[in-house]
Amino acid sequence: MPKSLLMISRQAPWSGPSAREALDIVLAGGAFDLPIGLLFLDDGVFQLAAKQDAKALQQKDLSANLQALPMFGVEELFVCADSAAERGLDPTGLALEETRALSADEITALIDRYDQVITL
Amino acid sequence: MAAVLLTESVMKFAIALFSAAHAPSSRRALLFAQAALAGGHEIVRLFFYQDGVYNASGSVVTPQDEQDLPKQWRAFVAEHQLDGVVCIAAALRRGVLNEEEAKRYQREAVAVGAPWELSGLGQLHDAVQDADRLICFGGA
């Protein structure tokens, strides 16, 4: 059985290429049919903010890439409920509907469940 | 000489590095890698991603009284004949090109060569599958 990998994505989408590069690891894993999960934590939850206008920052929108996750077979999508609440984001109104909001305890259990973890 | 940190049974490590050559975490990654080998363990692959690609750059000039990490990495990888992979997409974005990519994109500066190999993210996943442990340095 292949080893599972959890990506913990902690960077806002507009603070540099980090969020995008974290997502690229996840999409590549999905393309190889590997068991891979993605948790949005801390400023990473900003990637899920609805109605972002990337053009105003002369940047490329990450949300289209996020929507590709289910198509790449990545269905284990999670968001830290505390991180979202601290930043005024409603966990039920996020850009990626498939994400499940988790409490701190649930996140501890989630990390335990995966063989390997990358935090970016 | 690196201290022997790992005295348990032999392990296969994959090491991922995300920080630039001047970051303390990059130096820790090298010390860990040296200690792993000194302890009789195996490194299945080094994978440099994000700013970690700068650790493979031959264009970095380190002040004389500081540690020249790209040089140390290069010597370490060559000496132990390790599999050192630099993510090609991350390297292109940061201008760390090998001869082939410089030619392909018509750029003058060639920053990386042997013993490093430029390749894709599949190499990271492949290493994760192969290793007992993935050890990351310089992430968020």
Phi-psi region of B70 (alpha: psi -120 to 50; beta: other; left: phi over 0): alpha
**What ipTM does this complex have?**
0.92
The more confident residue out of B56 and A92 is: B56
Q: Which residues pair with B103 in a beta bridge?
A: none
Q: What is the 3-state secondary structure (H, E, C) of B115-134?
A: CEEEECCHHHHHHHHHCCEE
pLDDT bin (cut points 50, 70, 90) of residue B5 is low
- Cα nearest neighbour of A9 on chain B: B140
Residue B2 has pLDDT above 70, yes or no: no
Residue B1 has pLDDT above 70, yes or no: no
Q: How far, in Å, CA of A118 to CA of B52, rounded?
A: 14
Residue B7 has pLDDT above 70, yes or no: no
Mutant choice from A11, A15, A24, A65 vs B, greatest count of B C-beta within 10 A: A24
E strands in B53-99: 84-87
Q: How far, in Å, CA of B26 to CA of A31, rounded?
A: 29
The pLDDT of residue B25 is 97
The more confident residue out of A93 and A47 is: A47
Percent of chain A with pLDDT over 90: 73
Beta carbons of B117 and B86 less than 8 angstroms apart? yes
The pLDDT of residue A61 is 77
> Domain boundaries in chain A?
5-50+63-119
Instruction: Look at residue B2 and tell me if it is in a domain.
Output: no
Residues 6 or more apart in contact with residue A53 via CB below 8 angstroms: none
- Dig out the tokens for A43 from the structure: 């400023």
Instruction: Look at residue B58 and tell me if it is in a domain.
Output: yes
Query: What pTM value is reported for the model?
Result: 0.93
B28-83 per-position pLDDT tens digit: 999 999 999 999 999 999 999 999 999 999 999 999 999 999 999 999 999 999 99
A10, A24, A28 member nearest B140 (Cβ): A10
Instruction: Look at residue B4 and tell me if it is in a domain.
Output: no
Domain assignment of residue B80, given as a range: 12-137
**With an 8 Å Cβ cutoff, are B50 and A21 in contact?**
yes
Instruction: Look at residue B30 and tell me if it is in a domain.
Output: yes
Residue A91 has pLDDT above 70, yes or no: yes
**Residue A86 touches partner B, C-beta closer than 8 Å:** no
Domain count, chain B: 1
Beta carbons of B125 and A118 less than 8 angstroms apart? no
Q: What is the CATH number of the domain that holds B51?
A: 3.40.1260.10
CATH T-level fold of A5-50+63-119: Hypothetical Protein Ychn; Chain: A, (3.40.1260)
The pLDDT of residue B12 is 97
**Residue A11 touches partner B, C-beta closer than 8 Å:** yes
B16, B121, B139 member nearest A24 (Cβ): B121
Point out the catalytic residue in the list B87, B96, B111, B118. B87
Instruction: Look at residue B3 and tell me if it is in a domain.
Output: no
